[in-house]
Amino acid sequence: MIFKSTRGGGAAVSFKSAVFEGLASDGGLYHPTSIPNLNKLFLSLTSSSDYNQIAEEVTFHLLSPEIDRETARRIVSASYDFSPHLQRIDDSLFVLELFHGPSYAFKDFGACFLASCMEEFLSGDKRDAVILVATSGDTGSAVARAFLGKKNIHVVILYPSGRVSMLQEKQLTTLDKNISTLEVKGSFDDCQKMVKQAFTDTELNRKLMLTSANSINLGRLIPQSFYYIHAYAQLAAELDDGLVFCVPSGNFGNLTAGVYAWQWGLPVKRFIAATNKNDVVPQYLQSGIYETRASIRTLSNAMDVGNPSNMERLRAVFNSDWAKMAAMLQGEVITDEETTETIKGVWNRSALIIDPHTAVGYLAATRFRNRNDLPGAKIVIIATAHPAKFRETVREATGQQPELPAGLQEALDLPKKSTVVENTLQDLKDFILARFA
């Protein structure tokens, strides 16, 4: 498999190049140039197929000869000491919990694989890589945890001082080893600007190998297909009337990975694109008109995106054909009031505590089922975050205080370690050059 920009510029590149470059040179996103057929492999899977086994098999089939079987096995086993948990709600509704990894959010599945790939690719190189990440809270901790202890890689995380939650700050600032955290006197936009400037700075790029690990990276997207395939395998024996995935979405990386798996031959009937009031994609699916907007704040804030970056990849999958996309993707829009009511209702009916992002998916799936478009289909709702990460919202909705998992409690108990800097490129450069050049 080789990859080309969604905007058509530049040459096709290897997986390794796509991973280290992140964004293509023309500003587009890397996207596979061909569609492999893995249908036979998928149909051979059963409920006893192990997650890492599936991940290894799919990695090998997609990326060999660039990645041979031995390397695929090494990357996968270095990535995952956690796996998805599929919970049955009733005959046709399931929740796929993807929040049992190191940062308690689904982004761990992509970030850990990317980190292991980079470590593997750098093991023959002489130079270390420096990864720069600007975060408004959540993404940073998945990346930091994924890269913790990886050889030949240093990670520098920038976050806006005083503008992330206490739990998020602790998750970002209590790691050590190869992770440094800069507390920037400024906004998230300042952090992002500093990182962007660093990537184009001549001196830094001469002295160091700078790279990014953001969510558009193919090394994060490809592995997100594995949990769709694993969920299919778990349910394969009972799928007489088809399988539907419901994906709470913001930048649409999660949903795109599922659509890739379908394109490679996974038997999926429909995807539900569930959003909060940042609903440009559901609007497009309904009307055929795509209008990006500034984002608005909601309770499911990791999905507050007004211009979803992976729309470029989704369009590429469907050859920019609206009718084809609308036939496969069903949009659903959920308000904050409905989100809170859903958290409460699910707690009362099923004694299950869900976070606000998962609640958006839950209500969207329920609506889809009630319309009876695909009678008898099994619907799998992707649960993207541990409810303890959104304690306030969950407590207000249910009266329950979700129990903190051990890893989060541990982070809360550790002392914060960060370096306070001004919001200038020079401050960032001084820090990086003093340490890594």
Ligand X SMILES: *Cc1c(COP(=O)(O)O)cnc(C)c1O
By the criterion CB under 6 A, which residues form the site for ligand X?
A: 105, 107, 138, 248-254, 302-303, 357, 384-385
Shortest Å, Cβ 200 to ligand X:
25
Residue pair 145/102 in contact by the 8 Å Cβ criterion: yes
Written as one letter, the residue type at 299 is: L
Residues 6+ away with beta carbon under 8 Å from 202: none
Residues 6+ away with beta carbon under 8 Å from 344: 397, 398
Residue with Cβ nearer ligand X (304 or 427): 304
Shortest Å, Cβ 93 to ligand X:
19
Residue with Cβ nearer ligand X (41 or 261): 261
Give every strand in the sheet of 378-383, ordered side by side: 85-88, 93-97, 378-383, 243-248, 270-275, 329-333
Residue with Cβ nearer ligand X (30 or 60): 30
- As given in the structure block, the two tokens for residue 247 are 């994906």
- As given in the structure block, the two tokens for residue 85 are 């948990």
Residue with Cβ nearer ligand X (4 or 107): 107
Q: Please tell me whether residue 271 adopts helix, strand or coil conformation.
A: strand
Residue pair 281/305 in contact by the 8 Å Cβ criterion: no
Beta-bridged to residue 380, according to DSSP, are 94, 245
Shortest Å, Cβ 46 to ligand X:
28
Shortest Å, Cβ 214 to ligand X:
11
Residue pair 55/278 in contact by the 8 Å Cβ criterion: no
Catalytic residue among 4, 16, 40, 107: 107
Backbone phi, then psi, for 262, in 5-degree steps? -60, -40
Residue with Cβ nearer ligand X (310 or 423): 310
> Any catalytic annotation for residue 107?
yes
Shortest Å, Cβ 276 to ligand X:
10
DSSP E strands, 45-150: 85-88, 93-97, 129-134
Active-site residue numbers? 107
